[in-house]
Copies of this chain bind each other. A is one copy, B any other.
């Protein structure tokens, strides 16, 4: 839309300088009003006499005509003091909807000192006072403090004039869309981008904007340069695209359009090692990079997810107001978003979050198997799980109850779903991290492998025919015993998950705060639970939740149930890798003298790998000629 931008203000406020810069920045013509004074006016001013309103009238009409003429071709910048409303009314005449007013404002002394510092200006400084007397503050103008630097003034004018967005979001998938609505609902002015793929993804951003009332002031794009230009500098652009190569492609597409100091935020489930690489790469280009975990699924992203950002702290502070505002709130109304640490620590923490999630889901699946084996239908199983809410409340327990109750014609929907579980990489990476860091998160690994095994559907059907089974045994397991077993395994899972984060924190020198991480996992995310709320306090005093007295007491109470349930399931041949491993891990972890001495002996026997002795606590290594 074509516009006349009038830059106004008293003499010496910097109108000409700013006007010229703005015309360059916007690539539109610049006109200095003073160049259009009739000779009589110039003569009068040169003789030191101020102009009166009659002197000005013809001049202002000339400028109004200039503006009208320019509008035939496009926009332009016109600078003119225009101190009184009636002057502005003349300038505005007939083009009221096509003018923008920028008032460069400062105190008398600020302006006075500026003018005295200038040379060769044709208006003597003693006339300044009369200008301030004449000045009627414009009401609908964009008012800008002249103390700002010219660069800042231009950015400010641009953002006000063009209604630049505060935040950009790239990638309108399930999560991206929900985050856009969340940002808009919280009053942020956003730009939204989705790529254009002929016949596949067309007008995604525009259509999405039109579907939702709250997006009425959001700017939709499918051209990357326009998207980037629509965002205030330093730009804050969140990428919500598929983890992997796509992130690198998008970054390289964005780079030519970005400016020094802009901030990219990767909100996908990227590998933490990749995040570190991208951080370093973008640093060399003077672009900040924030890798952030976002958990909560579609609904969480919309209503308030848990957010785990990492990277440069200074850059984080600039995106903090956005992320903290859209995040879920914990029980003390604090945002479920906290600066995690440097490099890829945010994505590492998100990866472990997902690992814990894998195991929590697998534990519920095993509980489902066991209760099914006792002859209960999904609704009856949901009834049992309802009674667990007091002790084991969690988001996953609740959605499991919903799922079990869902009907599909005359059966339960769950019975119709194919039992091949997918995975998207984070459980895999968490298992790899556990192997690489020497921190045994065995339940995450078990849960991952259980999904893999589920994928061998054809082999399973075949094997089921070949092998006899003991399914005819009676299974005698009380709800209380099963709940205890489930809770026991969950404690082990959470111990292992936080231990993995702690090991990574030590190894990479990230200095992570486990209690804060537990806190931002109490809301918004998939693994929020009453247990997680408990752990916020537990982790304030220890990095190992198994050393907490309350938890020790709880385990001592519930462990015998776990022993009974697991041993019965083994006899009954119900697959319970995760529940079973929770016991075995715990039994290893609490064994003072393990059988690893035999393994050390074997390694020394065939490979001369040496061993240490229990009766020599120096670091000496022994080798035996066996």
Contact = CB atoms under 8 A, between A and B. Distances in A.
A371 to B, nearest CB: 10
Given A544-B459, A585-B577, A597 B467 contact: no
B544 A598 contact: no
Contacts of A589: 453, 456, 459-460, 463
A469 interface: yes
Contacts of A445: 431, 435, 442, 445, 449
Contacts of A575: 584-585, 587-588, 591, 594
A368 B600 CA distance: 13
A456 to B, nearest CB: 7
A469 B590 contact: yes
A366 interface: yes
Nearest to A463: B590
Contact of A611 (B418, B555, B584): B418
Contacts of A372: 595
A362 interface: yes
Given A596-B421, A602-B364, A455 B438 contact: yes
A269 B415 CA distance: 47
Interface in A443-496: 445-446, 448-456, 459-464, 466-470
A413 B601 contact: yes
A379 to B, nearest CB: 14
A524 to B, nearest CB: 12
A432 interface: yes
A602 B399 contact: yes
Contacts of A446: 442, 581
A281 interface: no
B559 A400 contact: no
A460 B595 CA distance: 13
A612 B414 CA distance: 11
A245 B190 CA distance: 48
A597 B415 contact: yes
A552 B463 CA distance: 9
Contact of A626 (B395, B402, B428): B402
A560 interface: yes
B460 A614 contact: no
Contacts of A467: 552, 555-556, 559, 586, 590
B567 A577 contact: no
Contacts of A361: 598-599, 602-603
Contacts of A435: 428, 431-432, 435, 445, 448
Contacts of A298: 606-608
Contacts of A453: 440, 585, 588-589, 594
A417 B594 contact: no
A314 to B, nearest CB: 33
A593 to B, nearest CB: 6
A186 to B, nearest CB: 22
Contacts of A451: 596, 599
A512 to B, nearest CB: 19
A29 interface: no
A505 interface: no
A466 B589 CA distance: 11
The count of identical subunits is 2
B462 A297 contact: no
Interface in A255-305: 296-300
Contact of A570 (B566, B588, B590, B598): B566
A587 B573 contact: yes
A80 B599 CA distance: 69
A418 B612 contact: yes
A439 interface: yes
A445 B424 CA distance: 20
A216 to B, nearest CB: 25
B526 A597 contact: no
Contact of A546 (B463, B468, B580, B607): B463
A374 interface: no
A295 to B, nearest CB: 9
Contact of A600 (B418, B584, B597): B418
Interface in A539-565: 544, 546-547, 552, 555-556, 559-560, 563-564
A488 B399 CA distance: 38
Contacts of A137: none
A406 interface: yes
Contacts of A624: 406, 413
B463 A416 contact: no
A595 B417 contact: no
Given A571-B567, A577-B442, A603-B422, A450 B588 contact: yes
Contacts of A606: 296-300, 395, 399, 526
A615 interface: yes
A424 to B, nearest CB: 8
A125 interface: no
Nearest to A588: B575
Contacts of A442: 445-446, 449, 577
A377 to B, nearest CB: 14
A568 B603 CA distance: 29
Interface of A: 174, 296-300, 361-362, 364-366, 368-369, 372, 395-396, 399-400, 402-404, 406, 413-422, 424, 428, 431-432, 434-436, 438-440, 442, 445-446, 448-456, 459-464, 466-470, 526, 544, 546-547, 552, 555-556, 559-560, 563-564, 566-568, 570-571, 573-577, 580-581, 583-603, 605-609, 611-615, 624, 626
5 contacts: A421-B599, A442-B449, A526-B606, A567-B567, A575-B585
Given A297-B606, A575-B594, A577-B584, 6 more contacts: A406-B624, A419-B594, A431-B445, A438-B455, A442-B446, A576-B587
